[in-house]
Amino acid sequence: MADRVSVAIKLGGQLPRSLLADFEAAIISDGASTDWQGSEFTVAELPIDQPLSLMANEVAWGTFEAIEQFCRDNQLIFARWAGGCAGSFGPERLVFNGIEEMTFAVTDDDEVMISRDDVRRLGSIASIETHFAAADLAVPALVIVEARQPDGGNHG
């Protein structure tokens, strides 16, 4: 049986309108909703001029597998927090900036923590500050666009 924890994710970027049904299906597949009470998500709940925040309790292994893969495949930016499961894994924050992904150890209150080994690996206060800045990724608004052009721009 999978260890289950609470999970929250904030995502944004440009989402082509043609992918809305697949996006909604990924969210429903993972059981995420716009509140902790868990009503099934619909695209009518998409925010205007802000990132989409989703959450769920009792998420297997603390990952929204379908949502996160959809975001990776479509270069949507996200930051996900997952609570820890005693004896299995600690709480974490995962950020994806549209290109690369980084994982950070956090508290149950989503405060980034670093270990002595991290301090040694990072080597300087400037590097430590850069590490914290990467963890605090500012997720942009989720914007529905008519089409994403090959150059990455929105021309529709």
Q: Please, what are the averages of pLDDT over each run of 10 residues along the chain (156 residues)?
A: 85 96 96 90 92 92 92 96 79 93 89 92 94 94 82 49
**Is 83 in contact with 107 (CB distance < 8 Å)?**
no
Distance CA 60, CA 31 (A): 11
Residue 58: the pLDDT is 86
Residue 85: the pLDDT is 77
Name residue 102's beta-bridge partners. Answer: 95
Distance CA 43, CA 20 (A): 7
Residue 88: the pLDDT is 76
Residue 108: the pLDDT is 85
Q: What is the pTM of this model?
A: 0.86
Residue 107: the pLDDT is 86
**Which residues, other chains included, contact 23 with Cβ-Cβ below 8 Å and sequence gap of 6+?**
15, 43, 70
Instruction: Supply angle C-alpha 50, 74, 57, rounded to 5.
Output: 60
Reduced to 3 states, what is the DSSP secondary structure of residue 80?
Answer: strand
- Eight-class DSSP state of 147: -
Residue 3: the pLDDT is 82
Structure tokens, 31: 């059981």
